Amino acid sequence: MRIVSTWSFGLAANEAAWPHLVAGKALDAVEAACIYAEMAPDIDSVGFGGLPDSSGRVSLDGCVMLSPSCCGGVAGVRTHLHPVSVARRVMERTPHLLLVGQDADDFADREGFARAELLAPGAREAFERWRVEGGVIDQSRDGASRSLPADEARWRHHDTIGCLALDARGTLAGACSTSGTPYKIPGRVGDSPIIGQGLYVEPAVGAATATGTGELIAGICGAFLVVESMRRGATPLEAVRDAVLRVAASYRLEPQHQAVFLALSKDGTFAHAALRPGYRTSVMDLAGPRAVEADFIALPEAPTESGAHAR
């Protein structure tokens, strides 16, 4: 029995999830973890605290997954706070897998979800500064440090909550929730709501999720790649390491880029690899809560101003 969530803010999210895990309800557990993050005003990459797009409006993406035949997602939600819960409803009540934009919000209305204000005061202030200062993102100040310890915030440019859980009955589930890249072009969607990119679960094998720059993760179908490697015999650590190395080899990287893959096998073994330092996974199991450094970092040195890596 174990839940793993991306970043240190996942510690509190895991605590919210734990009773569901003990009750043998992995899907409720990962949903509860994401709901916690979506409600926290100091988490600036998810839900209510999330930084807006370049028009000043927040849009949220999320998905849930139990298996290839049991998953759902929403993208570009603007009037509902809990994309994971709406995604779960897509999974449970429709023949579809992904709803987007206004139609996803309309679906949430029809399903009885309450509308909510998505722009927290702190995120609004950060947006106003960003607009006045000509689009320069100062991550040391623009909200990035509000939800993370300084050594994570120093490296971090953008993130997402991804959660994987193995419950007391041996069921695996996963969920992802994000507000996407800060000040993105309106309409941009990253990896998080897309099955196979930000999240993948294959019950007989294991599960994987991702956080970081969605474009890097999406382009290699990251979460699917990790689970498929495991299905073909790789250990969780080999699978996540190969995925970050694939990211490093596939793109011209910029200093703000980060990509992290987190895997949980069906026997409860977890592993996590990051493109850059400054990442921790929050773990909760019978040994208690803890935040753990990545097993493997592809580019351990600081990027230079030009984007090349010091070696």
Q: Is 191 in the site for ligand GLY (CB under 6 A)?
A: yes
Round to whole Å and give the CA distance between 17 and 115: 24
- Nearest-approach distance from CB 297 to ligand GLY, in angstroms: 18
Question: Which alpha helices (H) appear in the chain, and where do they start and end?
Answer: 10-22, 26-39, 83-93, 101-110, 121-132, 150-155, 214-219, 222-231, 236-250
- Nearest-approach distance from CB 233 to ligand GLY, in angstroms: 28
Q: Is 6 in the site for ligand GLY (CB under 6 A)?
A: no
- Nearest-approach distance from CB 257 to ligand GLY, in angstroms: 11
Q: Is 160 in the site for ligand GLY (CB under 6 A)?
A: yes
Per DSSP bridges, beta strands 98-100 and 70-77 are parallel
Active site residue 160: yes
Q: Are 157 and 4 in contact (CB under 8 A)?
A: no
Q: Is 174 in the site for ligand GLY (CB under 6 A)?
A: no
Nearest to 236 by CA among 225, 224, 223, 227: 227
Q: Judged by CB under 6 A, which of 5, 59, 85, 178 binds ligand GLY?
A: 178
Round to whole Å and give the CA distance between 305 and 223: 30
* Burial (Cβ within 10 Å: 0-12, 13-18, ≥19) of residue 235: middle
Round to whole Å and give the CA distance between 143 and 296: 27
Round to whole Å and give the CA distance between 188 and 75: 9
**Active-site residue identified among 6, 79, 160, 178:** 160
Q: Which is nearer to ligand GLY, 214 or 236 (CB)?
A: 214
Q: Judged by CB under 6 A, which of 214, 222, 236, 278 binds ligand GLY?
A: 214
Q: Is 211 in the site for ligand GLY (CB under 6 A)?
A: yes
Q: Is 182 in the site for ligand GLY (CB under 6 A)?
A: no
Nearest to 263 by CA among 238, 233, 288, 289: 238
Q: Which is nearer to ligand GLY, 85 or 211 (CB)?
A: 211
| Region from 27-35, 107-115, 206-214, 223-231 binding ligand GLY, contact rule CB under 6 A | 206-214
| Region from 25-33, 207-215, 260-268, 287-295 binding ligand GLY, contact rule CB under 6 A | 207-215
DSSP conformation class of 48: G
Q: Judged by CB under 6 A, which of 6, 85, 147, 181 binds ligand GLY?
A: 181
Q: Is 152 in the site for ligand GLY (CB under 6 A)?
A: no
Q: Is 62 in the site for ligand GLY (CB under 6 A)?
A: no
Q: CA torsion sign, 42 to 40 to 168 to 197?
A: negative
Q: Is 38 in the site for ligand GLY (CB under 6 A)?
A: no
Q: Is 5 in the site for ligand GLY (CB under 6 A)?
A: no
Q: Is 222 in the site for ligand GLY (CB under 6 A)?
A: no
Nearest to 276 by CA among 301, 251, 306: 301
Q: Is 50 in the site for ligand GLY (CB under 6 A)?
A: no
Binding site residues, ligand GLY, CB under 6 A: 160, 178, 180-181, 190-192, 211-214
List the catalytic residues.
160
